[in-house]
Structure 1
Amino acid sequence: MERNTGARRTHIKQEIRILGIDDSPLISEDILVVGAVMRGGEWLEGVLRTYIKKDGLDATGKLVDMVRSSKHFGQIRVAMLNGVTMGGFNAVDMEALYESTGIPVISVMRKPPDMASIKSALKNLSEPEHRFEVISRAGNAIEVPAKRGKPIYMQYKGLDADSALNIVRSSTTHSRVPEPLRVAHLIATGIVLGESSPRP
């Protein structure tokens, strides 16, 4: 498997603390981002949150602040993203997130990114070259053999490919995607859709 520059072997425990990060539906200009701190793929231990701008340029800084200010900061061993863009095309710089927190980062996606389509879509936003550079720095997407259904794909910074693969597979317990991401998605979606629903 491809090796990541500066990567390190991460000791994998069954109950490694993973921070799954996902955004909410795009129903406003301020997008809720939720972090779910889990022990492996089973136990939820904490919930973090921050807000980013839809199609903005602040995702990386907001995630760094969210992680570093958390009471769980010293226990988190891996941060896991649902792709490197959130809030539309607010791109997360995986290298900067790793370097600023010291926590390895894994991006998980259902299919490999179509870089040509992404580059075309970015033309409609501010600083398209910068956004594309940040997205490209995530590196090649590596296929993760499926436990069930179709395979998923990952990108990684701050750890080696075998460690990243083991973390993704060991935390995929109840669906096609790792449980920390599934839980973060459920929480973010539930909060935002619940707040937007009319009260009886």
Structure 2
Amino acid sequence: MLKVKPEIRVMAVTGVQLKRLHLLGVVFRGGSWLDGLVKMSTRSHPVKALNRMIKSSGHYGQVRVVLADAAYPWRVKFEDWGWLAEKLSKPVILFCEKPCKGLSLLKAGFGRVWVKAFKLSLQESLRVIEVSTALPPLPEPLRVARMLAASLTKALGNRVL
């Protein structure tokens, strides 16, 4: 059972596909403080690259939950996310604010969200999402990760990377 404190450290991950896949991870304390940012470029399997990126991060020891952007087309199976949760020894939550195939509907205090949780119950994942959300419907770490991904796409879109 995961103890969800108000300042739980959550790492949200998303990606940007240019010539290579650029992975972004944003670490937040609850929904209040940005603790760090990690980035990795890869041509390998995205979930294996996420494993390397998260484990090599200086925040790895403090991160309690990984929140993955289900709206990003990862092109991987659900089993791969379970593999990631096992390798990291941390729960992984796939999150989407719109209906997504394979994700379960949860009713949060601010509306509906769709999630798939690995190494975590749906109730615990709902608590993590509620604690890390400052401006509904997105948890703050994921909102910032998506903003940075959009900026990276604009900034690097014309360059060959």
TM-score by length of 1: 0.71
Question: Secondary structure in 2 aligned to 1:151?
Answer: strand
1:144-183 to structure 2, matched below 5 A, reads: 144-148=106-110, 151-183=112-144
Choose which of 4, 10, 23 in structure 2 pairs with 1:12. Answer: 4
Partner residue in 1 for 2:57: 70
List gaps (5 residues or longer) in structure 2: none
The Cα shift of 1:190 comes to 0.9
Given that 1:22 and 1:86 are in contact with CA atoms closer than 8 Å, whether structure 2 keeps it comes out as no
Partner residue in 2 for 1:141: 103
Given that 1:169 and 1:178 are in contact with CA atoms closer than 8 Å, whether structure 2 keeps it comes out as yes
Partner residue in 2 for 1:79: 66
Q: Does 1:21 align with 2:13?
A: yes
User: 1:6-54: per-residue Cα shift (whole Å, max 9, x none)?
Assistant: xxx1001000000000112x4x23121110000011110100111244x
The Cα shift of 1:145 comes to 1.7
Given that 1:84 and 1:94 are in contact with CA atoms closer than 8 Å, whether structure 2 keeps it comes out as no
Question: Could you tell me how far apart the structure 1 residues matched to 2:153 and 2:129 are?
Answer: 27
TM-score by length of 2: 0.87
Partner residue in 2 for 1:118: none
What RMSD in Å do the two structures reach over aligned CA positions? 2.2
Give identity over the alignment, percent.
27
Question: Could you tell me how far apart the structure 1 residues matched to 2:50 and 2:73 are?
Answer: 11
Partner residue in 1 for 2:32: 42
Structure of larger gyration radius: 1
The Cα shift of 1:84 comes to 7.8
May I ask how many residue pairs the two structures share in their alignment?
A: 158
Question: Could you tell me how far apart the structure 2 residues matched to 1:80 and 1:68 are?
Answer: 15
